[in-house]
Amino acid sequence: MTNALIQNVKTAFEQVLGYAPSHIIQAPGRVNLIGEHTDYNDGFVLPCAINYQTVVAASKREDNIVRVVSVDYGNAVDEFDLTQAITFQEDKMWANYIRGVVKCLLARGYQFTGADISVSGNVPQGAGLSSSAALEVVIGQTFKTLYNLEISQAEVALNGQQAENEFVGCNCGIMDQMISAEGRENHALLLDCRSLETQAVSMPEDMAIVIINSNKKRGLVDSEYNTRRTQCEEAASIFGVKAYVM
């Protein structure tokens, strides 16, 4: 974790919420080395985590309120009640990833009360580095950590994918969330997207991965990603082979 991100979320937490957080949690973005549009077709992918991440400062609450401060959106605050319907926010798109993760955790039967959270990240948004997956995973990790939830890293990833599919509205595969949840330093992750079996693959010490920002924005929700997925599923059906269909 970078010291600047940690300081940013701690400062925002204390300024907006009025006390010091109990936990600092992070999840990384990713690049994919091999396998494009293959995760939702049950194929193999080889992504690796990168040294850009989303960081959360958090503390438990005794009531059922979740308060979230977004440092990257001018300390904007979102608040919702776990005992009420968790609804989509048209005017706060950033908040929907958080709401979706929490809603899906509850639907899976995990029990917890509220939380105070501040969040910031340096994963470039719309750059294909999975800023949304990092946010989903770090929120899942936050509730896992605060409430000692018995949830595996794979299920943290699956929960994040479900939130993006069903709440946010992007039919992404599992790769982005899985590498964010299970990535290891100096390793890529060979992932079988059908079985979710993983194998850490060490990176050669004399090799570096260079990431170049083209400054061309791309968002999965408003791109043709969902169209491509539908086309792949239709093609698999025509050829009579298996493809993952929601």
CB 196 within 8 A of CB 44: no
**Does residue 244 fall inside a structural domain?**
no
Within-domain flag for 9:
yes
- Reduced 3-state DSSP string for 155-184: HHHHHHHHHHHHHHCCCCCCHHHHHHHHCC
Give me 202's structure tokens: 């060490």
By CB neighbour count within 10 A (0-12 exposed, 13-18 middle, 19+ buried), where does 76 fall? middle
Domain membership of residue 42 as a residue range: 3-239
**DSSP codes joined into one string, 207-227:** -------------TTTSSHHH
Do the domain assignments include residue 185? yes
* Total domains in the fold of the chain: 1
Residues composing the chain? 246
195 φ, ψ to 5°? Answer: -95, -15
- What is the spatial distance between Cα 184 and Cα 95, in angstroms, rounded to a whole number? 28
**E strand or H helix that includes residue 103:** helix 93-107
Give the model's pLDDT for residue 53. 96
What is the reported pTM? 0.89
Q: Could you tell me if residue 144 is inside a domain?
A: yes
pLDDT at 246: 43
pLDDT average per 10 residues of sequence, the chain (246 residues): 91 98 97 85 92 97 98 98 97 97 98 98 88 98 98 98 95 94 95 93 90 73 72 82 60
Q: Per the domain annotation, does 224 fall within a domain?
A: yes
The domain that contains 219 carries what CATH number? 3.30.230.10
Cβ neighbours of 6 (radius 10 Å): 15
Given the structure tokens 């993983």, which residue do they identify?
A: 198
Q: Parallel, antiparallel, or unpaired: how do β-strands 115-121 and 47-60 relate?
A: antiparallel
Start-to-end CA distance of the chain, whole Å, equals 35
d(CA 80, CA 230): 33
Q: Is residue 157, in this structure, part of any structural domain at all?
A: yes
**Active site members:** 176
Q: Are 108 and 160 in contact (CB under 8 A)?
A: no
Tell me, yes or no, whether 190 lies in a domain: yes
Tell me how many helices (H) and strands (E) the chain has: 6, 8
Per the domain annotation, does 246 fall within a domain? no
